[in-house]
Structure 1
Amino acid sequence: MRGDRVLVVRRANPPMPGRWGFPGGVLELGETVAQGAMRELFEETGVEAEAADPLTVIDTIDRDGEGRVRYHYTLVAVIGRWLSGEGVADDDADELAWLTRAEIVERELPTAPALLPLLDLALARKE
């Protein structure tokens, strides 16, 4: 977070290509959740941030038309307090932007289902 703005990326790859969400990725062996979140943020955007406590845990399960699970991710959301960098989209993202919650809603961006609920939690914790 940087003031009242958050960094969001438009995903280039599955799952949910074309949808806006928060940068993220996979933990490496031996990393804490906070270390992995800040590493992924930097790798995907060039932005450096300091990790706050984990915000929440979310299970994301996607099923095909017949109900079979296509993927199941357990996401640990971590708030990052901006330190430096404006951000540049890498190959995982088509675009990135620093936006307020109001701007995300006003622009009617196609978002990942968890984006606004996570943002609301983060904003409530910030107060």
Structure 2
Amino acid sequence: MPATRDHLTPHRHGGDGWVECSYSPDGAGAPHRHWGLLGAAGLLLVRRAGDGAVSDVVLQHRALWSHHGGTWGVPGGALDVGEDAVTGALRESWEEAGVEPRAVRVVGAHVLDHGVWRYTTVVGEVADGAAVHPEASDPESLQVRWVPVGELGALPLLPAFAAALPALWDVLAAGGSGSEAAGQTPGPRA
């Protein structure tokens, strides 16, 4: 990971680009696009209260010009050439939210698989002894902050993130089993 971040210049990677997709869980969906020629990944980072319950999550308020602009979701984006989902999610969270990769303890992942494209939400907790102070650090964000879990229902969430939340909570409940396969949302296989 780079030692500094450039807050003004958009980050470009070899996997940037749109993928055309016709997958729909009910088979009635219209063709649509996904960002990330090689797939995409994001980080759901949580912190826990003294009683062990999840108290807050890091969320990004997406720039109005972006896909589903104005909604809240996890920092994330297109995977780069040769990059696995965990590395990509940690890189994107660093670029977009200033979350140091070493401050994250990965506990699992949830995969949304559309055959020609997949999105992996890496689930992590703040590592012991680490302090995380997220901030919007590129033009893709209006704001990045810790959001109390009780406020999630009041925010306009990115539709795919809202749909995945129950499975993401299940990954967290599995509590650090490290199973990357936990929370798989199946789609057609390419």
- The TM-score with structure 2 as length reference comes to 0.53
Asked if residue 119 in structure 1 is aligned to residue 165 in structure 2, the reply is: yes
- What's the offset of the Cα at 1:73? 5.9
Match of 2:142 in 1: 94
On the 8 A contact 2:61/2:141 being kept in 1, the answer is: yes
| Contact 1:24 1:37 survives alignment (8 Å) | yes
Contact 2:108/2:172 (<8 A) preserved: no
Specify which structure has the higher proportion of helix: 1
Gaps of 5+ in 1: 60-71
Compute the displacement of 1:24 (Å).
Answer: 0.4
Bigger CA drift: 38-47 or 78-87?
78-87
Task: List gaps (5 residues or longer) in structure 2.
Answer: 1-45, 49-53, 174-190
CA distance 1:7–1:50, shift in 2 (3 Å)? same
Question: Hey, what's the Cα distance between the residues in 2 that align with 1:14 and 1:116?
Answer: 17
In the alignment, the residues of structure 1 paired with residue 119 and residue 141 of structure 2 have an alpha-carbon distance, to the nearest angstrom, of 18
Is 1:41 the equivalent of 2:98?
A: no
Give aligned pairs, total. Answer: 113
Q: The residue matched to 1:115 in structure 2 has which SS?
A: helix
Aligned-pair CA distance for 1:56? 2.3
Question: Residue 2 of structure 1 aligns with which residue?
Answer: 47
| Residue identity opposite 1:2 in structure 2 | R
Moved more, 6-15 or 108-117: 108-117
How big is the alpha-carbon RMSD for the aligned residues of Structure 1 and Structure 2?
2.0
Q: CA deviation at 1:45?
A: 0.5
Structure of larger gyration radius? 2
Greater relative CO, 1 or 2 (CA 8 Å, sep 6+): 1
| CA distance in structure 2 between the partners assigned to 1:92 and 1:73 by the alignment | 21
Larger strand percent = 1
TM-score, structure 1 as length reference: 0.76
